[in-house]
Amino acid sequence: MSRMTDKVVLITGAGAGMGRSHAVRLAEEGADIIAVDLPGEVGEQGLAETSRLVQALGRSIVTATADVRDHGALDDAVATGVARLGSVDVIVANAGICETPGPSWTIDEEVWNRAIDINLTGAWNTVKAGVAALSAAGGSVIIISSTAGISGAAGRSQYSASKHAVVGLARTLANELGRQSIRVNTVHPGAVGTDMVLNPETFARLRPDLVAPTAADAAEVLRANTLLPVPWVESVDVSNAVLFLASDESRYVTGLQMVVDAGQTQKVA
């Protein structure tokens, strides 16, 4: 396939989950990747596996560690990638964090700030670091939001606030960058079959009636939230939306909020 042939894509949070999926899916379509994830053993090991998968597809990849809260580190990561691969064509601000601390008035200040700093400021830092490297021909900026960026999320107001905020950021960027042929859109996944959902803590929150709930138990609850008969979407489903927005197939699409949630946000009963 060749929908992204020789385009260079910057992806944060690329060492695991959806970020890795985006890297692989875009590489399948011919893209080269600048993959960024957190410093430390876990991030480095994750990036090594993402690198292996991308290289197995015959594409080039440059990996770098940086916390998205650290603009200087992101600048360095982008500079390293550009030195190897040339200008950037697509930015995917994917890195994020989701916690469920409880009602808004009970949330600890540290938990609140961590969500805003990573999910919102991190997206801004990513775009800020990458825009200067975008191709003179224009490009695409994709910020990963959430269904919690469309509707409220009880028990996670810090997450919902940050994911609503990136929509405002993206809409503003779309206005600011449009004359440079740079498109800016957001993608809004519902529940996705990654470690962010598939973990014992989430299972327990969804099924407090059980002593040791499993993924299958949690799926019963999540399936009731969707229009289509699935409990969650897979990472590749989100990556396919990212691919469309990254490719020339969406050359006149900007300021869009693309939802990938099996109908969760449209369900009325």
Is the Cβ–Cβ distance between 226 and 263 less than 8 Å? Answer: yes
- Among the options 66, 122, 149, 159, which is catalytic? 159
Contacts 24+ apart (CB under 8 A), 104-113: 104/157, 107/157, 107/158, 111/158, 112/158
Distances (CA, A) of 21 to 53, 69, 242: 10, 22, 10
Quote the DSSP letter at residue 8.
E
Tokens representing 129 are: 């670091």
* Concatenated DSSP letters of 60-104: -EEEEE--TT-HHHHHHHHHHHHHHH-SB-EEEE---------SG
Rounded distance, CA 114 to CA 34, Å? 25
* Concatenated DSSP letters of 18-68: HHHHHHHHHHHTT-EEEEEE-SSHHHHHHHHHHHHHHHHTT--EEEEE--T
Rounded distance, CA 142 to CA 90, Å? 8
159 carries an active-site annotation: yes
Tokens representing 119 are: 């999910």
Is the Cβ–Cβ distance between 10 and 88 less than 8 Å? Answer: yes
- Catalytic residue ranges: 159
